[in-house]
């Protein structure tokens, strides 16, 4: 007992042909004599037990009407002679390669044949479902040989009616019709205007197609272009040759889309990673994310794409693809951001700069800022515009120029004055003005000195007020007023007395008092004293020394005087004789009444013969 796979069953069916027609290898269809249904391979699964009635032939169905199979690659079988039997090839399978057997054929005459295989003394024939009214039948291994359902016609594939093979375009774009095809055999077009293409590259939203020149190789998924959707205008001729397959084809194909129980063999459409041929929203040809497609149809093709690919991928020729690539290159994302800058008021703008995130294909942006050296303190936009940038959609991010206050110093100098004088007029100096400005650009600065005419000597702050400005950061540098002691001169005059007379009272004089002050304002008054021994009978001149004055407000200098003492002449008594005449002695006048207009030393003087006694 031997189990043979469904591939054997497929080929067995295809091998039922007129013996005269099987003298050469070739492509054929198989049609049941009684039911008029054509065989089609929908799957590559199943099994048959030749020595029993157990079989699973669900991979082979039969279809009524030629139009049903005219464009069905599953209805085409390639017969290959192997001795007296046949190897049958179709939909990417081979009986001999799969199970190591070949098919036996019985010629019934009148172009009718039966197919069987014997194993272990048991022969199994292939029957169509004995129900001529059904449009779709199935192949069985049991039935009545005399019923006619085991009898089959062979139909060589040719251009004649009910013998041709065609493709069915299903997408119309412009003046052309398109479809995808995936067959296990190679073929050529009968219509010279028809063309086949493969997908050489897929890049984002573009797919580059290239023409398949000459024969379409076996097992090559392609896109077919024709100028009509009429089957008879889209005939193809299967070929026995095996040209070099297309290298790098991005199309994927499937032979089957079967949902038959135990023969489920289909490619589920994944809208995230698959696209199928269709008409794009702009009317062009391409691949789409079909909303209502669940499974890829049999003998068609699709493309696999990365997740998050565009819903639509446009098919392009080489020139269009290169243009697209250039456009995509120009779409390279890039972000250009102006660098935030800072400068002081009154300065020129610094060089405007930018940073690049991404790839800058070519060119440079244009940066501008409306701020000038005279612009007030504040924040100003640095505007980024395209300039000569080649990227199509650059992201341009503006920056800011922050103008800060310029440093400005207001200062004055140190001053000195004497006690009792008015404060000096303070002069202000400015360092840092911009744009040719001067003090008029600022509010007035107030100068405060906590000292007046009566302030004692010492140091006093010259304080400048905290002036504010929109455009300047002002620093005030204060100074010092030093009040010094006022000069005060204390002096005494010159005096005379006769020998042995008492000293006169010395009058002290002052020059330099301020603020209407007098000697009473001194913290200590001065004294005037004669320096030296004035009792010398020879007389002489002696200094009158002034000293001892004290005051915090005055720098005191002294101007001394002198005392002249007359010399002693030896006369002890002087008596006035009462005459009326006036006598002069050593500068003193003496009256006759005895009253002296001056002081004379005690003694006796003789003046003009007159005796004068001074006691």
Three-state DSSP state, 141? coil
Q: Are residues 448 and 494 in the same domain?
A: no
Q: What is the pLDDT of residue 345?
A: 97
11 pLDDT more than 80:
no
Q: What is the pLDDT of residue 142?
A: 84
In a domain, 611, yes or no: no
Q: What percent of the chain has pLDDT over 90?
A: 67
In a domain, 584, yes or no: no
Q: What is the mean pLDDT of residues 361-388?
A: 97
In a domain, 577, yes or no: no
Q: Are residues 264 and 291 in the same domain?
A: yes
Give the strand pairing for 186-189 and 206-211. Answer: unpaired
In three state form, how does the secondary structure of 17-39 look? CCHHHHCCCEEEEEEECCCCEEE
In a domain, 470, yes or no: yes
Task: Give the single-character DSSP code of 243.
Answer: P
Contacts of 219 (CB under 8 A, 6+ apart): 92, 182, 183, 184, 245, 253
In a domain, 601, yes or no: no
CATH number reported for the structural domain that contains residue 429 in this entry = 2.60.40.10
Q: What is the pLDDT of residue 474?
A: 95
Q: Are residues 170 and 318 in the same domain?
A: yes
Q: How many CB atoms lie within 10 A of CB 580?
A: 7
Residue with more model confidence, 223 or 571? 223
Least confident segment among 9-18, 333-342, 503-512, 588-597: 9-18
Q: What is the pLDDT of residue 108?
A: 85
Q: Are residues 81 and 21 in the same domain?
A: yes
Q: Are residues 295 and 174 in the same domain?
A: yes
CA distance 495 to 174: 144
Contact (CB, 8 A) for 360 and 387: no
Q: Are residues 14 and 72 in the same domain?
A: yes
pLDDT tens-place string over residues 237-260 = 999 877 888 999 999 999 999 998
469 is in which domain, residue-wise?
407-484
16 pLDDT more than 60:
no
571 pLDDT more than 90:
no
The C-alpha angle 109, 110, 115, rounded to 5 degrees, equals 55
Q: What is the pLDDT of residue 570?
A: 58
CA distance 379 to 234: 72
Residue with more model confidence, 225 or 576? 225
Instruction: Report pTM.
Output: 0.62
Q: What is the mean pLDDT of residues 208-222?
A: 95
pLDDT tens-place string over residues 155-202 = 899 988 889 999 999 999 999 999 999 999 999 999 999 999 999 999
pLDDT tens-place string over residues 259-295 = 988 889 999 999 999 999 999 999 999 999 998 999 9
Measured over the CA atoms of residue 495, residue 499, residue 503 and residue 504, the dihedral's sign is negative
- pLDDT class of 537 with cuts at 50, 70, 90: confident
In three state form, how does the secondary structure of 121-153 look? CEEEECEECCCCCCCEEEEECCCCHHHCCCCEE
In a domain, 89, yes or no: yes
Which of 399, 417, 444 finishes a domain? 399
Contact (CB, 8 A) for 387 and 362: no
Q: What is the pLDDT of residue 5?
A: 44
Q: What is the mean pLDDT of residues 367-395?
A: 96
Q: Are residues 146 and 30 in the same domain?
A: yes
Three-state DSSP state, 176? strand
In a domain, 593, yes or no: no
In three state form, how does the secondary structure of 387-412 look? CCCCCCCCEEECEEEEEECEEEEEEC
CATH number reported for the structural domain that contains residue 109 in this entry = 2.80.10.50
Least confident segment among 57-66, 195-204, 368-377, 441-450: 57-66
Q: Are residues 371 and 424 in the same domain?
A: no
Least confident segment among 105-119, 160-174, 409-423: 105-119
Q: What's the order of all strands across the beta sheet hosting 561-565?
A: 494-497, 561-565, 540-547, 527-530
Closest CA to 566 of 493, 492, 495: 495
Contact (CB, 8 A) for 118 and 107: no
Q: Are residues 199 and 247 in the same domain?
A: yes
CA distance 128 to 264: 21
Contacts of 139 (CB under 8 A, 6+ apart): 9, 13, 39, 57, 60, 61, 62, 126, 127, 128, 129
579 pLDDT more than 80:
no
In a domain, 604, yes or no: no
Contact (CB, 8 A) for 40 and 121: no
Three-state DSSP state, 455? coil
Q: What is the mean pLDDT of residues 329-358?
A: 96
Q: What is the pLDDT of residue 131?
A: 93
Structurally, the chain folds into a number of domains equal to 5
Closest CA to 542 of 507, 566, 570: 566
Q: Are residues 295 and 378 in the same domain?
A: no
Backbone angles phi, psi at 119, to 5 degrees: -155, 130
Three-state DSSP state, 521? helix
Q: Are residues 416 and 499 in the same domain?
A: no
Give the strand pairing for 479-484 and 415-418. Answer: parallel
Q: What is the dihedral of CA 326, 330, 332, 338, to 10 degrees?
A: 160
Q: Are residues 200 and 147 in the same domain?
A: no
User: Which helix (H) or strand (E) element contains residue 49?
Assistant: strand 47-49
Length of the chain: 615
pLDDT tens-place string over residues 499-532 = 888 999 999 999 999 999 999 999 999 999 999 9
Half-sphere exposure of 191 (CA within 13 A, CB side): 19
Measured over the CA atoms of residue 134, residue 135, residue 140 and residue 144, the dihedral's sign is positive
pLDDT, mean over the chain: 87
User: Which helix (H) or strand (E) element contains residue 416?
Assistant: strand 415-418
Helix then strand count (H, E) for the chain reads 4, 54
Which of 458, 484, 510 finishes a domain? 484
Which of 373, 399, 425 finishes a domain? 399
């Amino acid at each position: 007992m031997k189990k043979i796979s469904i591939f054997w069953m497929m080929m067995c069916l295809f091998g039922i042909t007129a013996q005269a027609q099987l003298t050469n290898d070739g492509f054929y269809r198989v049609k049941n004599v009684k039911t008029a249904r054509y065989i089609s391979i929908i799957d590559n699964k199943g099994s048959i037990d030749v020595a029993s009635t157990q079989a699973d032939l669900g991979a082979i169905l039969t279809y009524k009407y030629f139009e049903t199979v005219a464009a069905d690659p599953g209805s085409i079988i390639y017969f290959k002679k192997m001795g007296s039997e046949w190897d049958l090839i179709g939909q990417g399978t081979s009986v001999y390669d799969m199970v190591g057997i070949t098919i036996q054929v019985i010629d019934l005459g009148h172009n009718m044949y039966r197919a069987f295989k014997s194993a272990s003394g048991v022969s199994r024939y292939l029957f169509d479902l004995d129900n001529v009214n059904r449009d779709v039948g199935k192949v069985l291994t049991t039935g009545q040989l005399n019923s006619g359902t085991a009898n089959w016609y062979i139909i060589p594939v040719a251009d004649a009616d009910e013998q041709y093979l065609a493709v069915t375009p299903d997408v119309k774009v412009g003046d052309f019709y398109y479809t995808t095809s995936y067959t296990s055999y190679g073929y050529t077009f009968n219509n010279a205007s028809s063309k086949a293409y493969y997908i050489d590259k897929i890049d984002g939203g573009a797919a580059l197609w290239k023409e398949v020149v000459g024969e379409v190789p076996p097992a090559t998924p392609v896109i077919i272009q024709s100028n009509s959707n009429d089957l008879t205008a889209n005939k193809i001729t299967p070929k026995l040759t095996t040209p070099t397959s297309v290298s790098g084809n991005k199309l994927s194909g499937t032979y089957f889309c079967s949902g038959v129980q135990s023969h489920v063999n289909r490619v589920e459409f994944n809208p995230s990673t698959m696209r199928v041929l269709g008409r794009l929203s702009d009317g062009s040809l391409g691949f789409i994310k079909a909303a209502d497609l669940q499974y890829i149809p049999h003998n068609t093709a699709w493309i696999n794409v990365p997740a998050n690919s565009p819903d639509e991928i446009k098919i392009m020729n080489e020139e269009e693809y290169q243009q697209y690539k250039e456009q995509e290159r120009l779409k390279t994302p890039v972000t250009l951001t102006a660098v935030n800058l800072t400068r002081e008021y009154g300065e020129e703008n610094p060089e405007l700069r930018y940073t690049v995130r991404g790839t800058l294909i070519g060119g440079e942006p244009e940066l501008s800022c409306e701020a000038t050296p005279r612009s007030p303190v504040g924040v100003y936009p640095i505007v980024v515009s395209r300039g000569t940038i080649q990227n199509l959609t650059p992201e341009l991010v503006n920056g800011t120029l922050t103008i800060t206050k310029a440093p400005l110093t207001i200062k004055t100098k140190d001053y000195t004055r004497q006690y009792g004088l008015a404060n000096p007029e303070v002069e202000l100096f400015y360092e840092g003005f911009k744009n040719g400005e001067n003090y008029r650009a600022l509010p007035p600065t107030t100068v405060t000195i906590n000292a007046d005419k009566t302030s004692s000597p010492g140091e006093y702050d010259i304080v400048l007020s905290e002036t504010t400005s929109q455009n300047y950061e002002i620093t005030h540098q204060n100074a010092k007023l030093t009040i010094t002691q006022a000069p005060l001169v204390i002096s005494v005059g010159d005096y005379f007395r006769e020998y042995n007379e008492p000293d006169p009272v010395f009058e002290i004089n002052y020059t330099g008092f301020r603020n209407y002050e007098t000697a009473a304002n001194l913290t200590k008054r001065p004294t005037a004293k004669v320096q030296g021994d004035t009792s010398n009978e020879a007389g002489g001149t002696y200094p009158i020394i002034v000293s001892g004055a004290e005051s915090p407000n005055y720098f005191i200098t002294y101007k001394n005087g002198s005392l002249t003492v007359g010399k002693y002449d030896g006369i002890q008594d002087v008596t006035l004789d009462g005459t009326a005449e006036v006598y002069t002695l050593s500068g003193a006048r003496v009256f006759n009444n005895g009253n002296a207009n001056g002081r004379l030393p005690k003694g006796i003087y003789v003046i003009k013969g007159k005796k004068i006694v001074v006691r």
